[in-house]
Structure formats: structure tokens, C-alpha cells
Structure 1
Amino acid sequence: MSPEVRAWLERALRTLVAFDKPLALFVFLLVCTGLVTLYSASIDVPSRVTDQVRNVLLTFALMWAIAHVPPQMLMRFSVPLYTFGMALLVAVAVVGLTRKGARRWLNVGVVIQPSELMKIATPMMLAWYYQLREGSTRWFDHLVGLLLVGLPVALIAKQPDLGTAMLVFAAGLYVVYFAGLSFKLILPVLLTIVIGVGAVVISEDRICQPDVTWPMMHDYQKHRVCTLLDPTSDPLGKGFHTIQAVIAIGSGGPHGKGWLQGTQAHLEFIPEKHTDFIFAVYSEEFGLVGGLLLLAMYLALVVRGLIVAARGTTLFGRLLAGSLAMTFFTYAFVNIGMVSGILPVVGVPLPFMSYGGTALVTLGIAVGLIMSVSNQRRSLQT
């Protein structure tokens, strides 16, 4: 074999295996677990599994394509992508489509939800900004960073979509923290939140009365918090989701009832069982042991992402990979927390398991960006 042909084959092989193998393995395991659970949750609607397989194939294709884009090129897209996303959010606020009391969508020939774009665009923009200020970061730069986070979060929360706003805020805040924001400045905020939550719990009987209005919050948001504190206050309404999900998780026991044997799901007691509450279906059928294995897979995914971030060759790559890795943690923590009844129901899907194309593609793009950072390091070593 001639040297030219050998070199071409080596380049082709590197192109085909551009995936970061450990990261790809953890995503593959989670996707397979999700499809198995979705089959059980959608036994009466088998087309959902077919649709999700199509979404998975699209996601892996995008993941593979983005993994080939060098981080230097990603930096060039950061500002235009963030600016474009902000323009779409403003357009939603002005001429967006309203469904079920929320204005979150925009009709541009097809109906899109621009807030999903900001889950990627916001950390990219912040990583670009801190790369620009590398070596000369001051306290003022962190204020600029928080402003860049706050603008999309405010527009998304106004829609209202607190779940997505929280995810965008978390993704941006991770970048600011990894860029050097002192934990001493974060600690007072955390203490304030803890004190506030404690005050709400203690004052539940008074502040959850129907005639009490909560400032800066809609009635349905107040109802969600109050139902979280006492689901039995509305067992057939807002509390129904939480009560039935907790029953399903508890009834699974240590080893679960077995695949396709979950009664809560198959008797239609679990609402949104194929999307936001798929963890309840999984826990009922695979039990505590299965739940711990699932948590181990998410932990492995996050740890691998942080390892890639720590080994990044540029500040932009390190900040972007680190923040996106921690975003997977936020997704899983919020979803499992709300299904388990320790957090309000905010409509956050379980990563790589919940049915739906938009969230799955967004998460796949995030993994592709982390792989891009990983591939850059490998290319410099060869």
C-alpha cells in the first residue's frame, strides 16, 4: 500500500471515529435506556418509539458533524449566534405565538422555540467573552458576564418559561464561575436562597391562602410551589402529578416490578409519562437499583465532560465544555427532583431519555461541542 493511500485511510479513519469514545458510550447507554423505557411508557402509542429513533439518529448525526468543527471556528459563531438568539427572543415578545397562556413560539414558516437556542448560545457567548479577556479578567468582567446571562433569562422568564430560564441561567453561571468568580461572592446568594426557601416552608399556611398574591409571580407559579409544599392540598389538580409519580417510584421497591410491568404507567396514573415524568416509569419498573445505575451513568457523563474541559487547550474550550457538562447535571437534578416531589414541576426533560426532538437535539449539540474540544486536544497530540 502506497504512503499516500495509507495517509488517506488514516485521515478517513480519524474522521469516522471523531467521537470522544467514553462520552459517546455514556450518551449511547442513556439513549438506549431511554428507548427501552419509552417503549414501556408508550405501549399504546408505538409510533413514539419510531419517532424517537429518528430523533436519535438526527442527534448523533449533528453530534458527529459538530465534533469536527474546531473550537476556533466555534468562537467565530458565538457572537452572531447569541445576537441572533436575542433578536428571536425579542420577536417572540412582540409577535410570538401564545399557547396555554405562554408566549414562547415564533412562526417563521415553521414554529420554533428560540429559547432552546439560548441554552447553547449563552455559554458560547460567555466563553468567547472570557477568552477575549484572558489574562486580564477583573471584577467588572464578571458583571458583564452576569449581564449577558441576565438578558436572555429575563426575556425567557417573561414568556413565562421558568424551566428554560433556569437552565439558561445555570449554563451561563457555570461559565462565570469557571472563569474565576469567587465562591465568596456566590455563598451569600446561596444563603439568601436557603433562608428564603426556609421562610416559605415555615409560612406555608399563611402565604398559600387563595387571597394572597405573590409579587412577580403568576398564580399558576404560586400554585406549583404551594402544591409542592403540600401535594394533598390539590390531589386531583396540580398535586396529582407529584402524588402519582412518588407512588410509582416508591412502589418499584429495591429491584422494580420488571420491564413492562409498571401498573402506575400502564393504568394511566402517571401524566406526561413519556416526557417529563419518564423517570417515574423507569423507577417503578427497575427500582432503586436501576435508579442508582441511571444516576451513575449521568455522573459518568458529567465527569467525562469535566475531564475534557480540564484538558482543553484554550480558555474558550475549557469554559464551554465545563459549563455544558454541568448543564447535564442541572437537567438531571431538576427533572428527578421534580418527579420525586422535592422541586416544583417546571417542565424540564430527563436528558437523553424523555421523548421529544427539540430537547434531544439541543443536548446532542452540547455533547458535540464538548467532543470538539476533546478532538482539538487529540489533533494537537498527533
Structure 2
Amino acid sequence: MRISVLGSTGSIGTQTLDVARVRGDRVTALAAGSNLDLLEAQVREFRPDVVSVHPARVAEARARLTGVRVTGDVEEIAVQDADVVVGAIPGLAGLAPARAALEAGRALALATKEAMVVASTLVWDAAARGGGRIVPIDSEHTSLYQLLIGEDLADVEELIVTASGGPFRTGPADLSGVTAAEALRHPTWAMGRRITIDSSTLFNKGLEVLEASALYGLPLSRVKVLVHPQSVVHGLVRMRGGNVKAHFSAPDMRLPIVYALGAAPHGMTRPGDVRAAPRLDWPGSDFSLARPLEFFEPDFGRFPCLGLAYRAGERGGVAPAALNAADEIAVEAFLEGRIGYLDIARINEAVLEETPDAPLGWDDLREADTWARARAAELAGAPRAAGVTS
């Protein structure tokens, strides 16, 4: 299989290349940002035809990377001829290449959460125009898709995504003194710094709720969250007849990546699309099911960011984009020690309340993102500002 990887030096990108290495996939293109050291190692091993880097690093990359064409245009990488394009560039930076890939009719294995959270209608429009296909990589959404194969959505009562609960599920009772080092100690997953903090506040789970609603067309009221500390059940589907289906797997992102790569060229139409894929025994992936499993309702009072995501989704328009942008700035401020842990939710709420109602278009999206970042930065830099600190 020929694959191109957008965001090759990030967590999902490097794990995708782990999978490609074992499967023997042909990596035709790589898109990175500024991590030229890692990109250089990837180019030496996988020998892609073309790579993209941040425009400011093109000259340096061309001097370092021999035998490969270097561009500063990530959208050029997105439309390269490949069986699957892996979209793993985080944030709004991942939207333009995802749109380009879909408009070019590519099969997109999508890990860029923001695409569906802040711009789902625009992304689906791009897919409709170009004939592109979308398969989610995120473990929860891949599990839901596998559970929904063969089912009529009219028979689905609700979708359920699971959350580990993060490092603060059971304590401390007072989260005001939580440090960045404590919040970064996720009990299950090894992820980037922002997503790890978002997992500790359950904001990331809120984004996954919005993503599930956008991917499968169910209203937010029918997308629920269960806290599941063992992190081996990644999604559940409750049918109208009362049955509940659950998806089990080890907490290893390479497993949903394998599924997405196998399913994307066929649009995930049936299990037979990936039935012939080889079994890949990652360390720890052959986990035992003989263990106690626990499920709890989420505590919206303890984790207000989860409720804010639902509120933004119900408002629609540019509200999810503004909330997502505000959170990125607030998390950065927390990691830098400029605000407290509880200020993340307070800044997010303040920005969401101030976000004007506006229709969703590409220009509106960019304007809302820019405004929300500036407003969140203002709030983060104003100690004891109204609505920001207690």
C-alpha cells in the first residue's frame, strides 16, 4: 500500500510509520513541521518521493535532505497520489491539507480532531465535491465505526465514548493546586503535552463527543461519555432494542492505525475490507480480558470542560472553533506556569460566553480562531480578571 503521512514527526505520525515498517507499506510522501532531525531519519529509512516542511525551514531542509524533493506546501503533499493519506497535523493547521486531500478524491485516515470538531460541515462538503473518503484514526471513533458496521443508524439509541478519567479521577479533592507535572502523568496513554492536559480536564473527551456526532450524524444528546479506568473498552453502541455492543482492544494507537490504513481505500464499507490484514503483535497488545472492568458516569462538576464542549456543540457555528482555540492558549499558559489548573476551564468558559453567533465558513472559522486566541491570551495575562480566577 502507498501512504503519505501528514504530521510524520508527531505521535500519530511516528506510530503510523511503525505500522508501515512492519506491514511493508510504501511511504510516498511525508509532511513535517520543523523537526528536521527526526524527518531526516525518516527520509533515510522510508525514502519518500517528496516531503514538506515549514516554509521557513525549506532552504535548510533542502541542504540536509538529499535524494528527495522538498517543498514548503503541505497541501501539495496532501494531494500526492497514494492509497491512503494519514492526516495527523494537529490544530487548524491540519484543516487545509485535509480539505485538499478530500477535494482531490483521496482516502483520508483522519487523526486531526479539529477537522470534525470545528469544521465538520465544511469537511464533508469537501469530501462530497471531490469524492474523498474519511476513516477516523482516533481509538474511540474507530471502535464506534467498527461497532456500527452492518447497523442501521436509525436503530442506534446512543454512542458512548470512554475516558480513563485521567490522573485526577479520584483525587485530590481540591484541584486548584495541581501542577503541570502532575497533570502530565496520564495513567494510560503516552501523548503530546496539550492532549495530555486536555485528557486530565476531560476537554479532550468533550472534543471526541463533538467528533462522534459529526462523523456519524447523531445529535449530541445521543453521544455519551463513560469513565472507564482500565482503558480497554474504547467505545460502546446502545441499540434501540436494548442491546449494547462494546469494542475491546489494548490501549495502543497502532491498533486503530492498522484498521484505518486497511479500511480507508474502501471507505470502511464492511469488515471484509480489512479481514486479510496481518495480525501485528505489538508488545502488550495481546492483553488478557480476565480482569475487572469498571464504568462510571463523568463528574461534570469536577471536570467542567466536558460540559463546555457540549455547550459549544449545541450552539454550533463558530463556537466549537472558538472554544478549541481558547483551550489551546489556556493549556499553554498553564504549562508555562502563568495560570492555575482551574483557570483553564474558567478561561474557556469566558471565551465561549463572549463568542458571537456566526455561520460556519472557512473565513468565519479563521476569524473566530484568531479572536478566541487573542481573547484567551488576554485573560491568561490578567491575574484575577473577572471570570478567570477566583
Q: Is the structural similarity TM-score above 0.5?
A: no
* TM-score for the superposition, normalised by structure 2: 0.23
Q: Which has the larger radius of gyration?
A: 1
Greater fraction strand? 2
Which is bigger in relative contact order (C-alpha 8 A, separation at least 6)? 1
* TM-score for the superposition, normalised by structure 1: 0.23
